[in-house]
Structure 1
Amino acid sequence: MSTRDENWLALYRLMLVVRESDRVIGGIDGHWHPALGEEAAIAGCYHGLRADDVVAPHYRGMLAASYARGADLRRLFAGLDGRATGHTRGRYRSDVCGPFEVGVIGLYSGALGPPIEYATGAALAARLDGKGAVALAVFGDGSASRGNFHEAVNLGAVLRLPVVFVCQNNQYAISTPAAAERGGSIVDRAPGYGIPGVRVDGNDVVAMHEAVQAAIARARAGGGPTLLEAFTYRLGGHMSADPAPYRSKDEVDEWARRDPIALHEARLAAEGILDAQGAARLKQEVETEVAQAMAQAREDPMPGPEVLGIDRVFAGA
């Protein structure tokens, strides 16, 4: 099998993990932020990075970023369920805590916007370290309307830092449509900073992956930042418990016809890489992996007083 085919299969599998994890977690956590419909934008970002690269993911994709970087799925689920075996030892039950040890910076502030700055700071550290690492900042269209966005992108451009900015534009900031929160396209801001801006079909995982990899290669070679806008759509609610009454059925149905997993399945079949039987087997494999990880995580112990005392919140080891 060629390297291209292996990458395309890996992207498909990662999208399946994202979707199945969403389904399982959404059944126990009404505050979970599902990525239904955005799997291509997410998987395309995090597959194929170097081990020393640093990512500051969007909260809608944090688990996928951590998993793609080598984090243990059981431990990620344990953290979501408040277990002592999670990355914060049960102190912070949320979907926004990635493990430092695999190069993931979580949304520890609890506010949107700061991760863009975290990644820019990591890029400055990488520049000083001189080993060629790159930082990746992924954020939503709502965060692109905050001041953090301007400050981080401007600094990255001025210092030509090895950072890639990816706006995961699902067209809604919770219930606010994009047209009501900003003027113009996000990617059109790039020339004002003197950096390239590229709009990508966020439902095409191959196009997404190739655009991110090209921007990373440019940053690693000293070319500075790139601003990517992944145009996609959130098929589900903002949270698992959100029925999303602010959207029309016709709008959702139109985007559902461009399901990123179905689109990539068709590509794999057309290229002779994976037939329907192979796809079914891979889906079953992923379902089993996710189910076992969740079952094991829910058997893990809850934190005791010795863990919950005033000490450091985040455990790297």
Structure 2
Amino acid sequence: MPSGLVALLDDISLIARAAAASADDIGLAASKAGTKAAGVVIDDAAVTPSYVTGFTPDRELPIVASIARGSLFNKLVLLLPGALLLSEFLPQAIIPILMLGGCFLAYEGAEKVIEKLGGEKHGATLDDPIEDVAAFEKARISGAIRTDLILSAEIMAITLSEVAAENLVTRAGVLAVVGVVITVVVYGAVGLLVKMDDAGLHLVRKPSQLARRTGRLLLLAMPRVLVTLSVVGTVAMLWVGGGIVLHGMEELGGSSVWGALPHLVHDIQHSAEAATGSIGPVLGWMTYAGLSALFGLLLGVIIALLWHKVLKVGAHQSH
């Protein structure tokens, strides 16, 4: 009996060590993958405040919380199982699916640019009188979750590419950890951001002169910050959407005509890197990002024209 108990304890110890090692592997891989996805995370954080801007202060955090719940659902319920299944049984479908998502982001970003330049608006915006506030809020949340789905898909795809050689359990663990951590970071930051004006109002009522000055600074800065983030969010949609499609064209096209455009973009990027010395990598990245955004804008305009002018659909869609 004692020897049996000792053997059982040894087995438990081995299982515990294996689980700890697996957890360490998941943590390390998740850290690496999260770093790789940092650019898309920034895009996600920049895009989301535009869906909250303009609502009354008491609705801002509930809206952010609703979008965050939708984001977790996107990552853990829709994308994680789908990513694992695709990686196991149909890995060649991942790039075309991501390209479709990139086209959607380019379309969304291009529509915002068209509307800002005085083009036709499709669906209600915050500039229009809103008859049903609850319905409009629901539509804005749905729009944010749809956009998050595409950005989350890119995050999960980047993560999956970093752990493609790992076993199924490790891949699943890393995807789950990255999905939860990124969601908490992004929407926690967005929640703090949209409440900074309320913090400013609170501080200006304090007796301390420093607190009042800080509060006034926040009140003056936040409208400009939110407008800037709205612009950054639109550019980010175009940049990420165009970049996804260009990357897919390169992967699928190789040296064919289909892959000529992404190769040209990379050639321009490398030329910028070589011509600028020590700051070459930064300027090279900026060149690639700018060209990706320009390509995303052109692609999005084409899709928007086809969608609204040729197919004549989406006239009542909200953004």
- Larger gyration radius, structure 1 or structure 2: 2
Task: Indicate the structure with greater strand content.
Answer: 1
TM-score (norm 2): 0.28
Q: Which has the higher contact order (CA 8 A, sep 6+)?
A: 2
TM-score by length of structure 1 reads 0.28
Q: Which has the higher helix share?
A: 2
